[in-house]
């Protein structure tokens, strides 16, 4: 497709490399060749493009990047909410942004206090005892949590405990993490309520079970309401409950997961506590731990409290004899800590609870508003995201993919599709609390419009994008990133 209006067709930099440009450098003085057989035989295949063209190329590419700042982004499981600019302002304060991770820790007491206060917030919000701040994202937090559980089990001589239970409604990273830690994954099916059935769990709970990895709310956007019984039964067998807390946006300030029996849980600061993510910035996945796991938490630890001051422990001393070693260099994603704590302090505990309730309300508003045209996969209200499946699309001759592509032509980022796998043709919509009723109404009008379009039209959607429908599997598996 050629340029259309101000919508430029953007070739690869290598395809732009037609012109002759650059500067003529003087012939370099002769030096002794020290490369020998390592010398390059042909010149490097660098594109030959002038500076203005390079700048325009990358500026235009950056504008093709859809973001939460350009439109509604209801990508289920990802919590794409507004990131208040106040967070950015504090993260850029010179006292935070100009410090260096190799600096003597004694010289940055303010940074240590910030990590301490953030840890306190996380402990208060979850009712848990100890925090590892360093994990770099949610999946890394899972690794941190499961390594800690493995070390605790080994310490207590539970070498027989090699199995981790993972419900089908858990996030895909959960079984991957358990397997990466050397556990055997035992999947558990979801019941017709989209949740883990207690009897199924009891039947699977053999003596060799080390832990369960429970995503709560689960990937169907539903609260696993048997969590207290699940935790009690596991604790009787000296196993642990790992909760994937990436969906904390539904619960923060309302439910303390530690009170429900959770032993370890990661919190995606970049989701719940609003920092740019998904191509827009680094994540951060601190893990909170119960008293039972506290001695085994990976270093570094931030200890102390607001009144007596905070300090860091970064070696295995008498205070932390069983601590797991570091799982990440330095202290974690510090700038994300600043953003998250800014968000927490500007909202306050009551405000955080209100945000969670509004997130749940918004998801249920969409659920109620679209239930006559889309099929909700499960009965009853949802948490912070609503799951529809393709059963209402089939009679229309449409697929979930067609609907997603049609929404792009209407100016909306599609919801998460074909995930979770527990239903056919999943459409997982997470509006978050930061969207207004007006935006949600506009989205629902767009969705209704799409559903009245003919299959022929929709099969050709999107029509108004620089690239049309792609072979996404091929694009992911065999990407062609340079011209032949």
Q: Considering beta carbons, is residue 268 or 434 the nearer one to ligand PLP?
A: 268
Q: Write the DSSP string, 377-392.
A: SSSS--SSSEEEEGGG
Question: What whole-number distance in Å separates Cα of residue 367 and Cα of residue 381?
Answer: 8
Contact status, residue 198 vs residue 227, Cβ threshold 8 Å: no
Q: Tally the C-alpha atoms within 13 A of residue 236's C-alpha that lie toward its C-beta.
A: 9
Provide the CB-side half-sphere exposure for 289 (13 A, CA). Answer: 25
Instruction: Tell me the number of residues near ligand PLP by CB under 6 A.
Output: 13
When the beta carbons of 282 and 295 are compared against ligand PLP, the nearer one is 282
Q: Is 145 in the site for ligand PLP (CB under 6 A)?
A: no
Minimum Å gap between C-beta 138 and ligand PLP is 2
Residues 231-250 that bind ligand PLP (CB under 6 A): 244, 246-247
Cβ-count burial 78-87 (b if 16+ within 10 Å, e if not) = bbbbebbeeb
Residues 260/228, Cβ–Cβ less than 8 Å = yes
Exactly one of 173, 177, 249, 342 binds ligand PLP (CB under 6 A); that residue is 173
Return phi, psi of residue 46, to 5°: -85, 140
CB-facing half-sphere around the CA of 130: CA atoms within 13 A: 21
Question: Residue 310: phi, psi to the nearest 5?
Answer: -115, 155
Span interacting with ligand PLP, options 87-95, 135-143, 298-306, 471-479, rule CB under 6 A: 135-143
Cβ nearer to ligand PLP, comparing 137 with 344:
137
By CB under 6 A, tell whether 167 contacts ligand PLP: no
- Which residue lies nearer to ligand PLP by CB, 219 or 392? 219
Which span sits near ligand PLP by CB under 6 A: 133-141, 150-158, 223-231, 412-420?
A: 133-141
Candidates 68, 139, 294, 327: give the one binding ligand PLP (CB under 6 A). 139
Taking CB under 6 A as the criterion, the residue among 74, 138, 286, 298 binding ligand PLP is 138
To ligand PLP, the closest distance from the beta carbon of 216 in angstroms equals: 9
Burial 133-169 (b: 16+ CB within 10 A, else e): bbbbbbbbbbbbbbbbbbbbbeeeebeebebbbbbbb
Residue nearest to ligand PLP (CB): 138
If one asks whether residue 285 binds ligand PLP (CB under 6 A), the answer comes out as yes
Nearer to ligand PLP, 57 or 384 (CB): 384
* Cβ count near 436 (within 10 Å): 10
- Give the CA radius of gyration of the chain: 26
Span of 15-23, 121-129, 136-144, 353-361 interacting with ligand PLP by CB under 6 A:
136-144
Which residue of 171, 195, 367, 384 would you call a contact of ligand PLP, by CB under 6 A?
171
CA dist., res. 331 & res. 132, Å (int): 10
Query: Is residue 420 within the footprint of ligand PLP (CB under 6 A)?
Result: no
What residues numbered 207-226 form the site for ligand PLP, per CB under 6 A? 215
Phi then psi for residue 180, to 5 deg, are -65, -25
CA distances from 40 to 37, 45, 482 (A): 8, 11, 20
Binding mask 41-80 for ligand PLP (x = CB under 6 A): ------------------------------------x---
333 binds ligand PLP (CB under 6 A): no
Tell which positions 441-470 bind ligand PLP, by CB under 6 A.
none
d(CA 212, CA 234): 8
Pick the binder of ligand PLP from 83, 268, 324, 399 (CB under 6 A): 268
Strand bridging mode 130-132 / 309-313 = unpaired
User: What tokens does 90 get?
Assistant: 């504090």
| Element containing residue 243 per DSSP (H, E) | strand 240-244
Q: Which helix (H) or strand (E) holds 365?
A: helix 334-370
137 near ligand PLP (CB under 6 A): yes
Look at residues 416, 421, 423 and name the one whose alpha carbon lies nearest to residue 377. Answer: 423
**Per-residue binding letters, 73-102, with ligand PLP (x by CB under 6 A):** ----x-------------------------
**Count of beta carbons in the 10 Å neighbourhood of residue 93:** 11
Span of 80-88, 132-140, 146-154, 320-328 interacting with ligand PLP by CB under 6 A: 132-140
Selected from 167, 258, 276, 283, the binder of ligand PLP by CB under 6 A is: 283
| Shortest Cβ 270–ligand PLP spacing (Å) | 6
Question: Contact positions toward ligand PLP, by CB under 6 A?
Answer: 77, 137-139, 171, 173, 215, 244, 246-247, 268, 283, 285
């Amino acid at each position: 497709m050629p340029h259309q209006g101000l919508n430029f067709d953007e070739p690869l930099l290598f395809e732009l490399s037609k012109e002759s440009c650059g500067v003529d450098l003087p012939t370099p003085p002769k030096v002794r060749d020290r490369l020998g057989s390592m010398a390059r035989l042909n010149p490097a295949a660098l594109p030959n493009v002038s500076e203005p063209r390079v700048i325009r190329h990358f500026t235009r590419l950056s504008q093709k990047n859809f973001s939460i700042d350009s439109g509604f982004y209801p990508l289920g499981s990802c919590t794409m909410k507004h990131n208040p600019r106040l967070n950015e302002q504090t993260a850029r304060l010179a006292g935070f942004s100009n410090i260096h991770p190799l600096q003597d820790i004694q010289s940055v007491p303010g940074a240590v206090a910030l990590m301490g206060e953030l840890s306190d917030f996380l402990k208060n919000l979850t009712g848990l005892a100890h925090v590892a701040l360093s994990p770099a994202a949610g999946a890394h937090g899972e690794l941190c949590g499961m390594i800690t559980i493995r070390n605790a089990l080994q310490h207590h001589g539970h070498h027989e405990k090699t199995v981790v239970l993972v419900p089908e409604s858990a996030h895909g990273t959960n079984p991957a993490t358990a397997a990466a830690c050397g556990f055997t994954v035992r999947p558990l099916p979801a019941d017709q309520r989209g949740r883990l059935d207690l009897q199924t769990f009891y039947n699977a709970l053999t003596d060799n079970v080390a832990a369960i990895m429970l995503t709560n709310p689960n990937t169907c956007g539903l609260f696993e309401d048997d969590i207290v019984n699940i935790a009690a039964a596991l604790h009787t067998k000296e196993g642990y409950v790992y909760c994937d807390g990436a969906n904390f946006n539904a619960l923060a300030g309302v439910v303390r997961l530690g009170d429900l029996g959770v032993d370890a849980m990661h919190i995606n600061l970049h989701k719940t506590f609003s920092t740019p993510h998904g191509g827009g910035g680094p994540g951060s996945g601190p893990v909170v731990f119960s008293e039972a796991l506290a001695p085994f938490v990976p270093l570094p630890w931030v200890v102390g409290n607001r009144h007596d001051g905070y300090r860091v422990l970064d070696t295995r001393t008498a205070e932390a004899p069983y601590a797991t070693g570091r799982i990440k260099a330095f202290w974690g994603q510090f700038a994300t800590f600043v953003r998250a704590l800014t968000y927490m302090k500007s909202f306050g505990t009551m405000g955080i609870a209100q945000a969670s309730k509004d997130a749940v309300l918004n998801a249920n508003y969409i659920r109620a508003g679209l239930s006559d045209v889309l099929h909700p996969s499960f009965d009853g209200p949802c948490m912070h995201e609503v799951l529809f499946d393709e059963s209402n699309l089939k009679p229309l001759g449409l697929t979930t993919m067609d609907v997603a592509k049609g929404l792009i032509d209407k100016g909306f980022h599609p919801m998460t599709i074909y995930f979770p796998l527990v239903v056919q043709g999943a459409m997982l919509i997470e509006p978050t609390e930061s969207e207004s009723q007006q935006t949600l109404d506009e989205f629902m009008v767009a969705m209704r419009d799409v559903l009245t379009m003919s299959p022929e039209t929709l099969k050709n959607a999107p029509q108004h994008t620089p690239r049309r429908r792609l072979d996404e599997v091929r694009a992911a598996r065999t990407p062609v990133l340079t011209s032949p």
